[in-house]
Structure 1
Amino acid sequence: MHAALLAAVEETAEHVNELPVPPIVFGLGAFAGLIGLLLFTFAFRSIGSRH
């Protein structure tokens, strides 16, 4: 039983999922998205004082 378990673990350990883009692109995309949300929020900063 241990041999079968070790064989299954070795098979899953060798399987590597490659990312479609380099990891830095995910970080830059997240940063750009958060900056976009910041600017969107900043655009509505004085809505409450208009009325």
Structure 2
Amino acid sequence: MDYNAMRQFADSWVLLFMALFFVGAIVFALRPGGKSQADEAARIPLKDD
């Protein structure tokens, strides 16, 4: 695989994958019911064991 083939692959499929991953991460973060899990995760550093 030469440089031009790798660049074409990165310009098309990898860019599409990264865009879909970003949209999925946003949807995951803003999904209904996720607020309680996010609040619990935000309190982890403040817990005294």
TM-score (norm 1): 0.45
Q: Which has the higher helix share?
A: 2
Name the structure, 1 or 2, with higher relative contact order (CA <8 Å, separation 6+).
2
Structure of larger gyration radius: 1
For normalisation by structure 2, the TM-score amounts to 0.47
